[in-house]
A and B are shown apart, each in its own frame.
Chain A
Amino acid sequence: MFGIEDPQIIIGYALAIGLGLFCLAYGYRNWNEGGEQDG
């Protein structure tokens, strides 16, 4: 895939990009959460 044959490298890239996108989704979903807790 994209010129890379070793699945361990492909999985590494997929996870890195996937986790980056997860961070975006987490921030979007919890944008207004946690404002009142514990001051």
Chain B
Amino acid sequence: MVDALTLGAFTALYVAVLFLLTYMAYRRTRKGEDFLLAGRKVHPAIIGLSYGSTFISTSAIVGFGGVAAQLGMGIIWLTVLCIGVGVLIAFIVYGKRTRRIGQRMGAVTLPDLLSKRYNSNFLQYGTSVIILASMPLYSSAVLIGGSRFIETTLGIDYYTALFGFALITALYVVFGGILAVMYTDAFQGGIMVFGMVAILVITYMVLGGVTTAHHDLTDMASLVPSGLASAGMNGWTAMPDLGSPIWFTLITTIVMGVGIGVLAQPQLVVRYMTAKDDRSLNRAIPIGGLFILLSTGVAFTVGALTNVYFFRNNGVIATSMVSGGNIDQIIPLYINTAMPDVVVILFMLTLLAAAMSTLSALFHSMGSAAGHDLWTHLGCSRLMPSRVRRERNGSCSLRANQAGTAVMIVVSVGLAFLMPGSIIARATAMFMGLSAAAFLPLFTLAIFSERPSLLAAKLSLVVGAGSWFLWTAFVHVKESEVLGISRALFGTDAVLGSPWTVVDPLVIALPASALALLLGLFLERRAAPA
């Protein structure tokens, strides 16, 4: 066990660097557009690291690492999608067009881009409201994960850790805007890469080499708990049976939910718009791709291999080592027991970095949705009485964005008190699934169509968000039983039977949203004069 003084000293040094970077960013943040996009000239290396460290949070390392310990190496397909879709398709296909259109139209956020592209206030307000309603779920999960880790590692009271963690992140987001977020992301991303590589190398050394470690894990297939085996699990180095409940959870909720959901996340989309030109995005791709490989690939591999370590040393598999089967505790427990002190410190900083980089980006996105997309635009709209209505001059207020960010931070902290345990990976997948279902089809149409159809976009947004909510509340049993709406109305946790209860809402809502978009395009074409 590392002594608290050493841990505290490294943490203080880490926080001091964050504030130094925040001060550098603060001096360059003078107006609203600086706060939101940093003058559209961020260095490619910072874009790549910031994109990666925002995408990869404690959810990926602790939450999904824990899933790997429970369900095995099949989760490596999430790394495939994260790099193939989340980096290559995201930057090459979506990123370049988004940057060009955003720059041409002067858009500063995803709702702003959609609103200007479709010339629609409905889309600005609609997308902002969805962001403000769903993103606190994700930010609170990240906040809980980071605070729990600080509690167990530094021995600080959970609520003190929660407030301190939120306050430090809040200070640098509110004062330094996107530039502070991206500078600190890059610093944090560097720590994460270094930490994860060290953990992978030491894990294989401890377990006797790559082939021996994998071979031993393969031989443990008979130890799969009977409940998981009957639900389709075949071992930690084998995919579950095709179509089994575990296969559906692994592929539809985790691999597809996160891997596809990444394309339309507001906090990631805005990073394309901080690039000066396409060359900056080209140069960010190798950094982003390698970062995702080293962070998720390592977390998922080491997560599965914890079973070998715990079986050799304690005679039980990883899930038997944690109280109440809380898989979020497996990776921290493994690091604390198997790694040398210096790696424990490095991992603690890695997790803090992962949590803070994601959290700061979410705070910033929610703040811009509240401050710029809702408050600034509502203040100029005809919905406001003429006495208080402001002139629409196209500018965005620095103070409104800072105030919006502060309010949403308070909301996230409040929600963190209400959320249940073992929520990290699920809340992440839920937010990403909703982002994909509600935003992806209309975002795709906005950047690929010369004259995008507003009717199609509205239909897609409403059907995507609506069908995602209905499936979540009434069919997907993991969420519906927690929400309790289905039980209150129909006396059952899910209104459909197996296998629908384990099919993720994304699998239903994304195609529904895409079909609604196509229907809108068809209706508009029929209505148009020949």
Q: Determine if B286 and A38 form an interchain contact, defined as CB atoms under 8 angstroms apart.
A: no
Q: Determine if B79 and A16 form an interchain contact, defined as CB atoms under 8 angstroms apart.
A: yes
A-B pairs under 8 A by CB, number: 121
Chain B binding surface, main DSSP class: helix
In whole Å, how far is B351's beta carbon from the nearest beta carbon of chain A?
22
Interface string of B184-215 (1 = CB under 8 A from A): 00000000000000000000000000111111
Flag the segment in B274-282, B471-479, B511-519 that touches A: B274-282
Find chain B residues with CB under 8 A from A31 CB.
Answer: 279, 282-283
Q: How far is the CA of A20 from the CA of B293 in the complex (A)?
A: 6
Find chain B residues with CB under 8 A from A35 CB.
Answer: 277-279
> Known contacts A5-B237, A6-B238, A20-B293: does B73 contact A12 (CB below 8 Å)?
yes
Known contacts A34-B278, A37-B100, A37-B278, then 14 further A-B pairs from the complex at CB < 8 Å, ordered by chain A residue: A2-B210, A5-B218, A12-B80, A13-B73, A15-B84, A19-B80, A19-B83, A20-B289, A22-B289, A23-B286, A23-B289, A27-B284, A33-B279, A34-B282
> Known contacts A19-B83, A24-B289: does B76 contact A12 (CB below 8 Å)?
yes
- Interface on B for A, CB 8 Å cutoff? 73-74, 76-77, 79-80, 83-84, 87-88, 92, 96, 100, 103-104, 210-218, 234-235, 237-239, 277-279, 281-290, 292-293, 297
Find chain A residues with CB under 8 A from B212 CB.
Answer: 3
Q: Determine if A13 and B76 form an interchain contact, defined as CB atoms under 8 angstroms apart.
A: yes
| 6 pairs, A vs B, C-beta closer than 8 Å | A3-B216, A5-B238, A8-B238, A26-B92, A32-B279, A38-B278
Find chain A residues with CB under 8 A from B87 CB.
Answer: 19, 23
Q: Determine if A24 and B277 form an interchain contact, defined as CB atoms under 8 angstroms apart.
A: no
Q: Determine if A38 and B277 form an interchain contact, defined as CB atoms under 8 angstroms apart.
A: yes
Q: Determine if B104 and A26 form an interchain contact, defined as CB atoms under 8 angstroms apart.
A: no
Find chain B residues with CB under 8 A from A38 CB.
Answer: 100, 103-104, 277-278
Q: Which of B80, B88, B237, B288 has the most CB of A within 10 A?
A: B80
